[in-house]
């Protein structure tokens, strides 16, 4: 199911404008262009961005081959990824937690729950909670009978914190859970995620073809199901490195110069 039309309409009906899926070269190189921001009265509501359009597409493609029963999101912000997953995986229960260090994130929790009620998404709940301190109590309340079998880590983007998040959730997650770490390439989290995979018998797969560079940890029992889909969003690391070198050494400079949308100047 293509989620973007309904997702966009949901936020617009809540009174927001939004920006997502833009091309950095059209915005003077603005690196956050592909990601999602809500705007109210022409101002961005929070800089804690939502996932990119290509990352919605990854979730849709995953839903063709993998149907989780219980999803946990660490880092809700204004609920873009939570509402998207509630739509893409209607059979799954979904819990999104946010520490709400910023006022905007607390408003984001209310917004997410308001959307869930207004849109009949009874599978979605967003709550305040900080990883790792609050996770044991949250797991006791929400995951005792149904361990999480898909976990989306999108809280604080440091190598130390993603390991803390993983280790806090792991005792309450299914052994066969699929783990996705948002922003792993962009924030230099690959080595940390790879190490978590090595220590826990999970297969590490960076998804080079996602704008934030999501990293997946895949249990052996899911490999047959999800490998082709993940490969479509990864490709070969050597190809990614080749394109990176083209960028680094300016081989695409002339092409980019022709693509900067000059008629808008």
Ligand X SMILES: C[S@@+](CC[C@H](N)C(=O)[O-])C[C@H]1O[C@@H](n2cnc3c(N)ncnc32)[C@H](O)[C@@H]1O
Interacting residues with ligand X (CB under 6 A): 48-51, 73-77, 80-81, 97-99, 101-102, 105, 130-131, 154-156
Least distance in angstroms from the C-beta of 66 to ligand X: 19
CA 19 from chain centre, in angstroms, equals 16
Which residue's CB is nearer to ligand X, number 157 or number 243?
157
8 A C-beta contact, residue 162 and residue 189: yes
Least distance in angstroms from the C-beta of 187 to ligand X: 10
Least distance in angstroms from the C-beta of 230 to ligand X: 19
Which residue's CB is nearer to ligand X, number 11 or number 208?
11
Q: How many CA atoms, within 13 angstroms, populate the side-chain half-sphere of residue 166?
A: 27
Least distance in angstroms from the C-beta of 69 to ligand X: 20
Which residue's CB is nearer to ligand X, number 110 or number 253?
110
Q: Calculate the alpha carbon distances from 121 to 64, 73, 90, 145, 224 in Å.
A: 20, 16, 8, 21, 30
Which residue's CB is nearer to ligand X, number 75 or number 206?
75
Q: Nearest 10 degrees: CA dihedral of 168, 172, 175, 181?
A: -40
* Residue closest to ligand X (Cβ): 75
Pairing of strands 214-219, 173-181: antiparallel
8 A C-beta contact, residue 171 and residue 15: no
Least distance in angstroms from the C-beta of 49 to ligand X: 6
8 A C-beta contact, residue 64 and residue 93: no
101-123: b or e for each residue (b if 16 or more CB lie within 10 Å)?
eeebbeebbebbbebbeebebeb
Which residue's CB is nearer to ligand X, number 17 or number 227?
17
Least distance in angstroms from the C-beta of 126 to ligand X: 10
Least distance in angstroms from the C-beta of 150 to ligand X: 13
8 A C-beta contact, residue 198 and residue 191: no
Which residue's CB is nearer to ligand X, number 134 or number 194?
134
What is d(CA 97, CA 135) in angstroms, rounded to the nearest whole number?
A: 9
Read out DSSP for 163-220? HHHHHHHGGGEEEEEEEEETTTTTTT-HHHHHHHHHHHTEEEEEETTSTT-EEEEEEG
Which residue's CB is nearer to ligand X, number 73 or number 139?
73
């Amino acid at each position: 199911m293509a989620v973007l039309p309904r997702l966009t309409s949901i936020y617009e009906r809540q009174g927001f404008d939004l920006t997502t899926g833009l091309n950095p070269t059209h915005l003077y190189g603005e690196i956050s262009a592909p990601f999602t921001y809500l705007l109210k009265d022409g101002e961005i509501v929070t800089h804690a961005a939502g996932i990119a359009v290509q990352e919605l597409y990854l979730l849709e493609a995953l839903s063709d081959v993998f149907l989780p029963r219980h999803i946990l999101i660490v880092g809700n912000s204004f609920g873009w990824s939570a509402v998207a997953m509630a739509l893409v995986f209607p059979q799954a229960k979904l819990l999104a937690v946010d520490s709400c260090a910023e006022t905007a994130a607390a408003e984001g929790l209310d917004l997410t729950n308001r959307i869930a009620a207004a849109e009949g998404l009874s599978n979605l709940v967003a709550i305040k909670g900080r990883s790792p301190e609050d996770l044991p109590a949250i797991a006791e309340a929400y995951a005792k009978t149904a361990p999480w079998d898909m976990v989306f880590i999108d809280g604080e983007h440091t190598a130390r914190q993603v390991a803390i998040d993983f280790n806090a959730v792991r005792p309450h997650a299914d052994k066969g859970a699929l783990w996705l770490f948002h922003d792993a390439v962009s924030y230099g989290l690959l080595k940390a995620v790879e190490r978590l995979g090595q220590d826990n018998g999970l297969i590490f797969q960076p998804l080079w073809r996602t704008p934030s560079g999501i990293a997946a940890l895949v249990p052996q029992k899911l490999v047959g199901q999800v490998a082709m889909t993940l490969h479509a969003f990864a490709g070969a690391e050597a190809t990614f490195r080749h394109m990176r070198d083209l960028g680094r050494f300016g081989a695409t400079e002339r092409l980019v110069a022709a693509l900067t949308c000059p008629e808008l100047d």
